[in-house]
A and B are shown apart, each in its own frame.
Chain A
Amino acid sequence: MTAILAALFAAGSISAQDQSAVSISREVRDVFERSAKAVVRIHGVDEHSDIYGTGFFVDPTGTLYTSYTVGGEADSFSIQFGGKEYPARQVVADVRSGIAILKSDLVTPTLPIGTSQGLEVATPVVTIGYPLDLGKTPSFGLIAGFDRKYLGRYFSTTHLRVNLPTQRGEAGAPLLNLKGEVVGILVSSLENNSSCYALPIDAAEKIRNDFVRFGEVRHGWIGANVAEAKNAEEGSRAQITEVLATTPATESGLRPGDILVQVGTVKVHEPEDVLDASFFITAGDVVPITVVRNGAKCTFKIQAELHPASKNIPMLSDGTQLPAEATLQKNRAIPLTLDADVPRTP
């Protein structure tokens, strides 16, 4: 009797597992079928080589997200969509976030944008990409972690580490939740190719929103260096070590030695938290910055200016940047008039 019950029980469990497997497979297939048409292969051409990667449409007028490694540096681009090849042009290429936005003038299907906020370790996710020279391919896996650094080097913002197999050619692929919403963009693989990194979609949308609002990416910059404090105060070990010259921080009231507890809406507990806080600042924003000094909290409202990354000023590896004379501004048409003074450098 017991044996029969056990056998029946076992049979029931297997069938429940089968059901989950079938159900996951069906969900993944649904996501793939709904989303695949908005995913395209991107072909970039420069004078030395052809590169291939993946991208996906995010609006009905042909705006595409891809990774910087695909869409950042070639001289010309085309996309393979609906069995045909169409030209595309680069609209944004942002090294700091690692993504690029291209535009083709087509009426296109789109992927709905989700949010990376609700993601947790083990959240199931799907990608759709163009591995090598093969056709559109889904891959399924799980969020494995939220990393700030890789091989000892810090990302510009927290990245999603995802356990799913990836192949060359899939940079720029969308990372989708099981509702089919985009939660990330594939940017790099880990060395074993069975995991990868994705930029959270919230970070990508910051870049795209900047472009929509200003026509360019505006990384914000306050101008303070941060390191670990000897003692924590108000739950934070992040200490301002240097207030850089000729930055918004210079005359702001911030001082070396201040313990940082909040930047904008981001609470700071350790120096690493500053990476995300910094990434989401837009130049021109007035950012409230709260520090603890001599046991007391004070808040400074500082207007961010353009981050050196946006100005393309090369930085030395210790974080200092080349002097201001090295900044070359784009020529604007300067009307020359009879009596007026020559206009000052904007």
Chain B
Amino acid sequence: MDEFNDNEIAKLLRLKRYEQPRSGYFENFLHEFHRRQRDELLREPIWRICWERAHDFLFRLNVPSLTSYPAAVAAVLICAAVISLKIHQQPSAVNVAAENPPVISASLHPEGEWTLASPVATRVFTTQPLRQFHRSAQTHVSDSFRRTPPRYVLDSVPVSYESNFRF
């Protein structure tokens, strides 16, 4: 065969399916996805988190009229009141979102739930790679773009561990 015909082109293109990212890529993808979500959540202003939670709550009540603007505003105000009570009682996750700098590990509920004193708090992420969860080196929230302030490294856990005795 001197020329590529349609069939050969199709075969060559199908072989592109074998181009795959390195081993471990997809496993890491989900971790990275969660990390970016946390980043974004920390950057989201508290009023917006509140608004979205309130909107979800009303949406779930399935009463169209309640998803209107005045109802949502009322819900936001109630939500904000509850949150400020919580802040007063226990500086926790909410403070992290409101101010810099956060320590991610300290702000997380052990199972990785992000609780915001709201009836419809959503679990944003579920899995925690060991290093990120226990990291003592602070991860600072960026106040403008995606670049975060510099991190001086000395983690408080090793990067890996052996899960059982084997050789």
> Which A118-154 residues sit within 8 Å CB-CB of chain B?
131-133, 150-151, 153-154
Which residues of chain A come closer than 8 Å to B22, judged between CB atoms? 312, 328
C-alpha gap A68/B153 in the complex (Å):
10
A49 engages B151 (CB within 8 Å): yes
Q: Are A311 and B160 in contact (CB under 8 A)?
A: no
A-B contact pairs, 7 of them (CB 8 A): A50-B150, A51-B152, A155-B158, A172-B153, A221-B167, A222-B167, A318-B164
B62 at the interface (CB under 8 A from A): no
> Contact between A319 and B153 (Cβ–Cβ < 8 Å)?
no
Tell me if B126 counts as interface (CB < 8 A to partner A): no
Q: Chain B: interface secondary structure?
A: loop
A240 nearest CB across to chain B (Å): 10
A96 at the interface (CB under 8 A from B): yes
Question: Chain A interface: which size bin?
Answer: 35 or more
Per-residue CB contact flags for chain B residues 105-132 toward chain A (1 = under 8 Å, else 0) read: 0000000000000000000000000010
In angstroms, Cα B156 to Cα A186, docked, is 11
A292 an interface residue at 8 Å Cβ cutoff?
Answer: no
Instruction: Give the chain A neighbours of B148 by CB distance below 8 A.
Output: 48-49
| A278–B166 touching, CB < 8 Å | yes
Contact B153 A69 (CB under 8 A): yes
Query: Which residues of chain B are near A48, meaning CB under 8 Å?
Result: 39, 146-148
* In the complex, number of A-B residue pairs with CB atoms less than 8 Å apart: 143
Task: Enumerate chain B interface residues (CB-CB to A < 8 A).
Answer: 20, 22-24, 27, 39, 131, 136-139, 146-167
Q: Of all chain B residues, which has the CB nearest A266? A: B167
- Point out residues on A near B: beta carbons under 8 Å: 47-53, 67-70, 72, 95-96, 98, 131-133, 150-151, 153-156, 159, 166-172, 186-191, 193, 196-197, 221-227, 238, 263, 271-272, 274-275, 277-278, 281, 309, 311-315, 317-319, 326-328
Closest 4 CB pairs of A and B: A169-B152, A278-B167, A168-B152, A153-B161
Shortest C-beta distance, A255 to chain B (Å), equals 15
Q: A52-B151, A155-B161 are in contact. List 7 more A-B contacts (CB 8 A).
A: A98-B159, A155-B162, A156-B161, A156-B162, A168-B136, A188-B155, A226-B167
Report whether A154 and B166 are in contact in the complex, using a CB–CB cutoff of 8 Å: no
Contact B166 A188 (CB under 8 A): no
Chain A residues within 8 Å of B167, by CB:
221-222, 224, 226, 263, 274, 277-278, 281
